[in-house]
Amino acid sequence: MMEAVVYFLVSINILAFIVYGIDKWRAAHDRWRIPEATLLGIAVIGGSIGALIGMKVWHHKTKHKKFVLGLPAILLIQLIILSSIL
Protein backbone atom coordinates (compact mmCIF):
# COMPACT_ATOMS: atom_id res chain seq x y z
CA MET A 1 0.00 0.00 0.00
CA MET A 2 2.73 2.46 0.98
CA GLU A 3 4.61 1.66 -2.22
CA ALA A 4 1.54 2.62 -4.28
CA VAL A 5 1.29 5.94 -2.42
CA VAL A 6 4.95 6.69 -3.13
CA TYR A 7 4.50 5.88 -6.84
CA PHE A 8 1.41 8.11 -6.96
CA LEU A 9 3.18 11.03 -5.28
CA VAL A 10 6.24 10.77 -7.52
CA SER A 11 4.02 10.57 -10.61
CA ILE A 12 1.72 13.46 -9.66
CA ASN A 13 4.71 15.68 -8.84
CA ILE A 14 6.38 14.93 -12.17
CA LEU A 15 3.06 15.68 -13.86
CA ALA A 16 2.72 18.97 -11.96
CA PHE A 17 6.22 20.04 -12.99
CA ILE A 18 5.53 19.24 -16.65
CA VAL A 19 2.10 20.90 -16.66
CA TYR A 20 3.54 24.14 -15.23
CA GLY A 21 6.16 24.09 -17.99
CA ILE A 22 3.54 23.49 -20.67
CA ASP A 23 1.41 26.35 -19.37
CA LYS A 24 4.43 28.66 -19.34
CA TRP A 25 5.22 27.72 -22.94
CA ARG A 26 1.61 28.31 -23.93
CA ALA A 27 1.63 31.71 -22.21
CA ALA A 28 4.75 32.75 -24.11
CA HIS A 29 3.25 31.66 -27.44
CA ASP A 30 -0.26 33.13 -26.98
CA ARG A 31 -1.87 29.70 -26.92
CA TRP A 32 -4.80 28.30 -24.99
CA ARG A 33 -3.87 28.20 -21.29
CA ILE A 34 -4.35 25.59 -18.61
CA PRO A 35 -6.90 26.94 -16.10
CA GLU A 36 -5.49 28.12 -12.77
CA ALA A 37 -7.96 25.82 -11.00
CA THR A 38 -6.35 22.86 -12.76
CA LEU A 39 -2.84 23.99 -11.83
CA LEU A 40 -3.85 24.39 -8.17
CA GLY A 41 -5.90 21.19 -8.25
CA ILE A 42 -2.88 19.14 -9.27
CA ALA A 43 -1.05 20.59 -6.28
CA VAL A 44 -3.94 19.82 -3.93
CA ILE A 45 -4.09 16.14 -4.91
CA GLY A 46 -0.43 15.68 -4.06
CA GLY A 47 1.63 17.56 -6.63
CA SER A 48 2.54 20.57 -4.52
CA ILE A 49 6.29 19.93 -4.56
CA GLY A 50 6.33 19.49 -8.34
CA ALA A 51 4.20 22.61 -8.73
CA LEU A 52 6.56 24.66 -6.54
CA ILE A 53 9.60 23.40 -8.41
CA GLY A 54 7.88 24.06 -11.74
CA MET A 55 6.95 27.55 -10.61
CA LYS A 56 10.60 28.27 -9.76
CA VAL A 57 12.23 26.55 -12.76
CA TRP A 58 9.83 27.91 -15.37
CA HIS A 59 9.43 31.31 -13.60
CA HIS A 60 5.70 30.77 -13.93
CA LYS A 61 2.92 32.25 -11.78
CA THR A 62 5.53 33.93 -9.59
CA LYS A 63 3.55 37.18 -9.39
CA HIS A 64 0.20 35.61 -8.53
CA LYS A 65 -0.43 35.65 -4.78
CA LYS A 66 -2.69 32.61 -4.92
CA PHE A 67 0.30 30.64 -6.21
CA VAL A 68 3.12 32.33 -4.28
CA LEU A 69 1.23 31.94 -0.99
CA GLY A 70 -1.15 29.13 -1.91
CA LEU A 71 1.30 26.47 -3.04
CA PRO A 72 3.45 26.64 0.13
CA ALA A 73 0.23 26.62 2.20
CA ILE A 74 -1.00 23.52 0.35
CA LEU A 75 2.36 21.81 0.94
CA LEU A 76 2.31 22.73 4.63
CA ILE A 77 -1.20 21.32 5.05
CA GLN A 78 -0.16 18.14 3.24
CA LEU A 79 2.88 17.75 5.50
CA ILE A 80 0.73 18.24 8.61
CA ILE A 81 -1.73 15.61 7.38
CA LEU A 82 1.13 13.24 6.51
CA SER A 83 2.78 13.67 9.90
CA SER A 84 -0.50 13.01 11.70
CA ILE A 85 -1.00 9.80 9.68
CA LEU A 86 2.51 8.55 10.37
Higher pLDDT, residue 67 or 1 = 67
Radius of gyration, CA atoms only, the chain: 13
| Residue extents of the structural domains in the chain | 2-85
Res. 12: pLDDT tops 90: yes
Average of per-residue pLDDT across 38-56? 97
Contact 39, 27 (CB under 8 A): no
pLDDT at 2: 84
Q: Calculate helix-pair angle for 70-85, 48-58, nearest 10 degrees.
A: 150
Q: Spell out the alpha helix ranges (H) of the chain.
A: 2-28, 36-42, 48-58, 65-68, 70-85
Per the confidence metrics, is the pTM higher than 0.75? Answer: yes
